[in-house]
């Protein structure tokens, strides 16, 4: 009497009997491929959206208005900024996280883009501050720097600039070894502060690209 053939199938030339360990392994792989995201992936996505909601609390009003968020989420963000109680804030942020998960992929992308715009703007402001500080220090320290500045920014009030430079140099307090050892910074004069305001206002409102105009030694500071 012949033996009844086993039920199964071939995979890459290999016979896989139904019910065998190899069969069960293939079925587990197939099932895993057909299932949705894993619990770990869902938790990761939830955490990312919660963080995105937290970042929205700091978004500028003009950028926020351009997002056209659902009323529940928009009102929830306003309420979260108002709440100071720790536990109340925590519950409100959970609510915001749930609302974030209801947003369409397009709206989520708009949120990310708005946050990126705000971050890039902040970085640009920081660069502008450093640039103004570098120019101010060079103008006070070096007579040649005044001529370089005027060549780049002829719209500058020459008399005002030279007066501020003279006064800032006059008011400069020598840095002693004792002050350095104690970590004390010299107190800056009004002329020193006014120099910074003048330089920055021209840098931010001028036609020249300040990052190209600044001499290399100032950029190295």
Q: How many domains, in total, are found in the chain?
A: 2
215 and 129 in a common domain: yes
Confidence label for 109 from pLDDT (cuts 50, 70 and 90): confident
46: containing domain? 39-103
- Compute and round to an integer the Cα radius of gyration of the chain: 32
128 and 99 in a common domain: no
Kindly state whether residue 15 falls inside one of the protein's structural domains: no
**Dihedrals phi, psi of 5, to nearest 5 degrees:** -65, 145
Confidence label for 76 from pLDDT (cuts 50, 70 and 90): very high
Pairwise CA distance, residues 89 & 91, whole Å: 6
146 and 63 in a common domain: no
150 and 93 in a common domain: no
What CATH number is attached to the domain comprising 197? 1.10.60.30
- Of 49, 70, 103, which residue is a domain's last? 103
Kindly state whether residue 97 falls inside one of the protein's structural domains: yes
**Dihedrals phi, psi of 207, to nearest 5 degrees:** -85, -25
Kindly state whether residue 170 falls inside one of the protein's structural domains: yes
| pLDDT tens track for 38-48 | 667 767 877 88
More confident call, 157 vs 25: 157
Inform me whether the pLDDT recorded for 194 exceeds 60.
yes
What CATH number is attached to the domain comprising 58? 1.10.60
137 and 64 in a common domain: no
| CB contact at 8 A, 165 and 195 | yes
* Residue whose token pair is 């500080």: 133
134 and 57 in a common domain: no
More confident call, 93 vs 23: 93
The tokens describing 208, both together, are 């020249």
Using alpha carbons, list the distances in angstroms from residue 84 to 61, 79, 87, 154.
20, 10, 9, 51
**Dihedrals phi, psi of 103, to nearest 5 degrees:** -75, 150
Range of 10-19, 34-43, 165-174 with top mean pLDDT: 165-174
> What is the arithmetic mean of pLDDT over 28-41?
60
């Amino acid at each position: 009497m012949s033996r009844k053939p086993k039920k199964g199938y071939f995979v890459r030339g290999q016979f896989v009997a139904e019910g065998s360990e190899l069969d069960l392994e293939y079925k587990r792989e197939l099932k895993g491929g057909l299932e949705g995201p894993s619990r770990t992936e869902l938790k990761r996505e939830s955490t990312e959206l919660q963080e995105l909601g937290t970042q929205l609390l700091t978004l500028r009003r003009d950028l926020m208005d351009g997002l056209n968020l659902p009323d529940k989420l928009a009102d929830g963000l306003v309420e979260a900024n108002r709440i100071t109680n720790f536990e109340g804030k925590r519950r409100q942020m959970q609510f915001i996280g749930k609302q974030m998960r209801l947003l369409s992929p397009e709206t989520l992308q708009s949120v990310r883009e708005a946050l990126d715009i705000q971050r890039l703007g902040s970085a640009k402001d920081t660069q502008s501050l450093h640039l103004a500080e570098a120019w101010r220090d060079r103008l006070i320290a070096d007579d040649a720097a005044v001529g370089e500045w005027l060549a780049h920014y002829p719209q500058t009030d020459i008399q005002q600039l030279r007066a501020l430079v003279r006064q800032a140099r006059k008011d400069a307090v020598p840095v002693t070894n004792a002050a350095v050892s104690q970590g004390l910074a010299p107190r800056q004069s009004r002329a020193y502060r006014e120099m910074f305001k003048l330089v920055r206002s021209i840098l931010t409102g001028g036609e020249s690209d300040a990052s190209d105009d600044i001499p290399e030694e100032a950029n190295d500071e």
